[in-house]
């Protein structure tokens, strides 16, 4: 028997160790690629949400009401939402449940519910929808029981913007564009970004 064609135990262990090192280098890269892919799906969901809301606005001549219209429950419930509720679930949000008042995206209801788009003076700078926080979610500035289908910087029962996508959540603006912003605390302190005026 020719011993030259056999691997020794040390050689096998060295190969396994090298493979392990290569995998450890690749895992963070693959994780980042997966996170970017999920953030892209989230942006696409918000774009579809904008299209749905603009169609609804054309039919009703109003931005969707925040709740209990036209049927009991939040705007995100299948009986109220004028589209496919699957677009209300961000792939990075394991707490999403549109039927239970907890979609992935919250509506800026403070000055927008039941309004006309023409009443919004700065549509490119007014938050329409955004990644939403959920009840009992810890945020750096806020931890309170909230309704995740609403976002706002004033009400005690509306959620703050959710800190997904490496704390750079996606926001849909009234003019229909979607952007990713990192400075959430400044956004929450800025009334101009929430108000229709």
CA angle at 177 for the pair 172 and 179, rounded to the nearest 5°: 65
| E-state strands within the chain | 105-108, 127-131, 147-151, 158-159, 170-173, 178-180
- What's the pTM? 0.78
Q: Please give the Cα distance from 127 to 172 (Å, whole number).
A: 6
The 10s digit of each residue's pLDDT in 168-184 is 889 999 999 999 988 76
Q: What is the pLDDT of residues 105-125, one digit of tens each?
A: 999 887 788 888 888 999 999
**What is d(CA 195, CA 112) in angstroms, rounded to the nearest whole number?**
8
Name the token pair of 70: 């036209």
Give the phi and the psi of residue 182 in degrees, each rounded to 5: -100, -30
- Domain spans of the chain, in order of start: 39-193
pLDDT one-digit tens code per residue, 13-68: 888 888 888 777 777 766 676 788 889 999 999 999 999 999 988 888 888 887 77
């Amino acid at each position: 028997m020719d011993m030259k064609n056999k691997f020794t135990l040390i050689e096998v262990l060295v190969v396994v160790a090298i493979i392990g090192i290569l995998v450890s280098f690749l895992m963070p890269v693959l994780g980042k690629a997966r996170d970017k892919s999920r953030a892209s799906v989230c942006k696409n969901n918000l774009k579809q949400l904008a299209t749905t809301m603009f169609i609804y606005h054309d039919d009703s001549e109003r931005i969707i009401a925040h709740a209990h219209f036209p049927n009991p429950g939040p705007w995100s419930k299948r009986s109220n939402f004028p589209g496919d509720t699957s677009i209300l679930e961000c792939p990075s949000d394991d707490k999403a449940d549109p039927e239970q008042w907890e979609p992935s995206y919250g509506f800026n209801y403070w000055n927008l519910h039941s309004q006309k788009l023409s009443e919004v003076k700065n549509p490119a700078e007014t938050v329409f929808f955004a990644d939403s926080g959920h009840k009992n979610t810890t945020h750096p500035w806020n931890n309170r029981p909230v309704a995740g289908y609403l976002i706002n910087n004033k009400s005690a029962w509306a959620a703050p913007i959710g800190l997904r996508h490496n704390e750079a959540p996606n926001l849909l603006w009234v003019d229909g564009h979607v952007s990713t912003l990192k400075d959430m605390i400044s956004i929450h302190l800025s009334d101009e970004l929430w108000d229709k005026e």
